[in-house]
Structure 1
Amino acid sequence: MSSPAEWYQSLPPISKGYGTLCLLVTTASQLGVLNPYYIALLYGRVFKNFEVWRLFTNFFFLGGFSINFGIRLLMIARYGVQLEQGPFQRRTADFLWMMIFGAFSLLVLYAIPFFDLPFGGISLVFMLLYVWSREIPNANINLYGLVTLKSFYLPWAMLALDVIFGSSIWPDLLGIIAGHLFYFLTVLHPLAGGKMILKTPAWVHKIVRRWRLGAPAPSRPAAGAPPAQPERNDGVFRGRAYRLSD
C-alpha cells in the first residue's frame, strides 16, 4: 500500500490542485488567518472596488470544517480524479477548460439576484460530479450503505440528501445545470449532428504546456499509418465520443 504522500503525488494535476486549494483556504479560515468575507463573490465590490480576485477565490471555499466539507473534498478526490484519469486521460487541457467553463457559467448564474450566493465551491464540485455521472453512467454506487444506484443518478441523490439534511438546494442545482450545459455542448449536441462549438481554446493548451501539467496528449498518427482500431461497441452509450480539441 502506498503512503499518503505517494498517493497525493499520484493524483492528476487539476483535481489535486483544486482540492488542495479548497483544503488550504478552509484551514486558513478555521484558524482565523483568512476571513471568508474577503474572498466571497460580492459583485458590488468586484465592480465598484475592482476586487476582481473574488471572481476566482469564491470557488475555493467549501464551508467550515464539517461532515459536509469532508464529503465535498472526497467528491473531488474520487469523482474529479476518476474523471481526469478516465475520460479525460492525457487531455489535461480539456479538463482544465471544463473547470474554467463551469466556473464562468456559475458566475453568470450567481449574478442573478434571486440566488444571492457568496461562494461557488459547492456548485463547482457538483458540476464535476454531474459530468462524471454522464461520462461513467453505469457504475454501481453504494450510497452510505443505504441504497445502491447507478452513477447516472448520483448527483440527484446527493442533492436530495442535502435538502433532507437542511442545506440549500441552489448550490447543488446550479452545479448540475452548469455540468449539463458543458456536457450538452461538448457531447450531446455533436452526437445529434450539431457542430462542436465549445472547443478548448489555444491559450488553455499553452497554459498546460507552459506549466507541464499532466501527460502530453497522444500525437497524431504519421501519414500512411494504419487507422486505429475502433473500440468495441456493445450498443450502450457509455460517455464521451468527441474530443474537445483538434
Structure 2
Amino acid sequence: MSSPGEFYKSLPPISKAYGTACLLATAVYQLGLYQPVHIALIYELVFFRFQVWRLFTNFFFLGPFSINFGIRLLMIVRYGVQLEKGPFDRRTADFLWMMLFGAFALLVLSAIPFFWTPFLAISLVFMLLYVWSREFPNAQINIYGLVSLKAFYLPWAMLALDVIFGSSLMPDLLGIIAGHLYYFLTVLHPLAGGKTILKTPMWVRKLVARWRIGAQPISRGEPVNNIQRESSSGVFRGRSYRLNG
C-alpha cells in the first residue's frame, strides 16, 4: 500500500491540478474566507461590472464538504486520472485542450437562460465522466453494490440517481452535452469520414512543452517496438474502443 503522499504524487498533472483546486476552493469556503456568490457565474456582473474572474472561478466550486462533494472529487480521481493515464497518456496537451474546450462549451451553453447554472464545476466533472464512458464503454461498473452496468450507460445512471436524490439535473445534463460535443468532433465525425474539426491548438502544445507538464509525446523517431509496447499497455486503448464501436 502506498502512502497518501505517494498516491498524490503518482496522479497525472492535469487531473491532479484540477482536483486540488476544487478541494482548496471548498476548504477555503468552509473556513469562511469567501461566499460562493462572489465566484458564481453571473453574466450581468461579468459584462456590466467587468468581474471577469467569474468566468473561471465558477469551475472550481463543487459545493460544501458533503457526500456529493466527495463523490464528485472521486470522479475526478478515478475517471479523469484513467483518461489521462490511458487514452491521453503522453498527450497532456490534448487532455488539457479537452478540459479547456469543455469549459468554453459550458460557458456558451450556460449563457442560454434555460441552461444557466451558477457553478459549472459539476458539469465539467460530468464531461470527464461522459468522455471516459465512451473511451471505456465495455468496462463493468457497480453502483453502490446494487446495480451492475456497462460504463457506456454510467452518465445516464448517475444523472438518474441525482434526480432521485433531489439534486438538480441541469449540471449533469450540461456535462453530457459538452462531453458528447467533444467526442463527436474529435472521434465520431472523423470516423464517419469527415475532417477533424477540433484540433489541439499549437499554443496549448507550446504551453505544455514550455512548462514540461506531463510525459513527453512519442517522437517520430522512436522505435516501432517501443510504440507497440506502450500500445499494449493501454496508451491507445481509447482508439481501439473507438474503432470497435
What TM-score comes out, normalization by structure 1 length? 0.91
Cα contact 1:189–1:195 (8 A) shared by 2:
yes
Give the drift of 1:164: 0.3
- Match of residue 235 from structure 2: none
1:226 to partner: Cα distance:
6.8
Q: Could you tell me which residue of structure 1 aligns to residue 18 of structure 2?
A: 18
Q: Is the 8 A contact 2:13 2:213 kept in 1?
A: yes
Classify the secondary structure of the residue corresponding to 2:115.
coil
Cα RMSD after superposing both structures: 1.9
Aligned 8 A contact 1:133 1:152 in 2: yes
- Structure 1 counterpart of 2:208: 208
What's the offset of the Cα at 1:197?
A: 0.9
| Structure 2 match to 1:58 | 58
Matched, 1:80 2:69: no
The separation in 2 between residues aligned to 1:106 and 1:239, in whole angstroms, is 26
Contact 1:25 1:34 in 2 (8 A): no
Counterparts of 2:242 and 2:35, CA distance in 1: 40
CA distance in 2, matches of 1:171, 1:88: 25
Q: Is the 8 A contact 1:138 1:238 kept in 2?
A: no
Secondary structure, counterpart of 2:217 in structure 1: coil
Q: Secondary structure at the match of 1:57?
A: helix
What is the percent sequence identity of the aligned residues? 74
**Letter of the structure 2 residue corresponding to residue 102 of structure 1:** G
Q: Unaligned stretches of 5+ in structure 1?
A: 242-246
- The answer to whether the 8 A contact 1:92-1:208 is kept is yes
Cα 1:146–1:120, aligned 2, differ >3 Å: closer, same or farther?
same
State the match for 2:220 in structure 1: 220
Structure 2 unaligned runs (5+)? 233-238
Aligned length, in residue pairs: 236
Residue pair 1:136, 1:238 contacting (<8 A) in 2 also: no
How far apart, CA to CA, are the structure 1 residues paired with 2:100 and 2:70?
Answer: 23
Residues 148 and 229 of structure 1: CA distance in aligned 2, closer, same or farther (over 3 Å): same
Which residue identity does 1:194 align to in structure 2? G
Q: Distance in 2 between matches of 1:240 and 1:88?
A: 14
Other structure's SS at 2:141 match: strand
In 1, the alpha carbon distance for the partners of 2:165 and 2:240 equals 32
The residue that corresponds to 1:152 in the other structure is: 152
Task: Give the Å deviation of 1:76.
Answer: 0.2
Q: Secondary structure at the match of 1:198?
A: coil
Tell me if 1:36 matches 2:75.
no
| Closer, same or farther: CA 121–226 of 1 in aligned 2, 3 Å | closer
C-alpha distance in 1, partners of 2:224/2:59? 45
1:90 is displaced (CA, Å) by: 0.4
- 1:195 to partner: Cα distance: 0.2
Q: What TM-score do the two structures reach when normalised by structure 2? A: 0.92
Q: For residues 242 and 97 of structure 2, what CA distance do their matches in structure 1 show?
A: 15
Find the counterpart in structure 1 of residue 173 from structure 2: 173
